[in-house]
Amino acid sequence: MIDKIINLLNKSHDSTLSNMPPTILYNEGWMLRLVLDWFKNNPGVTHKLAIPADCNWYSEALLPSPFLRGPKDKNKRFAEGYTHADGVAGKFDIGIINKGELSLKPECDFLYITEAKMFSSLSAGTKNAGYYNQAARNIACIADLSVRANLINCSFRRLAFYVLLPESHSDMNNIKTIISKQHITATILRRINDFENYDNEHGSISWLRTNTADFVSKKIETDVITWEKIVKFINDPSLEVFYNRCLKFNQKYKNA
């Protein structure tokens, strides 16, 4: 059965042969998985996306939020569900607490989260907080994970949030503003002030209320990394072909 799936995928770039939209394969999600897998298999390289030999990567992990909706407060104003991480690298477990949920290992000293884009932009907010953008949400989740694992005061080799996108992305300047530390700090603090419960069971809201500015400015790295620079660094012709097909088949979203 696997060989049949592979055959279908191999035809997806040819409109005369394909039985499904090419974007099912040629998209930012699969581009990211190929990139992270390469870095995992080349642990000695020097790059922001480098993955040490003692770390792993995962796609579509569920990140618990400081404002996570509990089983008894489904209607709580401003609460939210899990944040879906396009990619994460570091020392973590998946599914120990809840299905699909990421938790940090006790010895975790390396963690970065990636948001992958072709031509779409970062999401502007959540249902209950329209301003709580994707960058601020991911970084608040990193803080929450650290508090839950009692690692908030520990030293990390890397603790970061990266946005991966094409160099021609029309919203590049706005995305750079959104991931600026000043903007992230202000957004998280606004989210905290709008939330009704400041003393949740794991205490990350209380911690963030007084430590967000220092955490964002001193512990977290944020950056935009273009796919083009990644492809050039990896220097694999097959990855370049795949990326060019991603660009081709996702063009309709470029000006969306």
pLDDT at 127: 74
The domain spans of the chain are 27-253
Question: What is the 3 state secondary structure string of 86-114?
Answer: EEEEECEEECCCCCCEEEECCCCCEEEEE
Q: pTM to 2 decimals?
A: 0.89
CA distance 178 to 169: 15
Mean pLDDT, the chain, rounded, equals 86
Please give the residue that has the higher pLDDT: either 52 or 132: 52
> What does the pLDDT average to over 78-95?
91
CA distance 207 to 225: 30
> What does the pLDDT average to over 42-62?
96
> Tokens in use for 197?
């419960």
pLDDT at 256: 43
pLDDT at 4: 54
Q: DSSP secondary-structure letter at 216?
A: I
**Identity of the highest mean pLDDT range in 50-59, 68-77, 175-184:** 50-59
Residue 129 has pLDDT above 90, yes or no: no
Alpha helices for 97-180 (secondary structure H): 134-148, 172-178
List pLDDT tens digits, range 216-254.
999 999 999 999 999 999 999 999 999 999 998 888 545
For 107-220, strand residue ranges (E) read 110-116, 158-165
- Find, among 153, 162, 64, 147, the residue nearest to 115 by Cα: 162
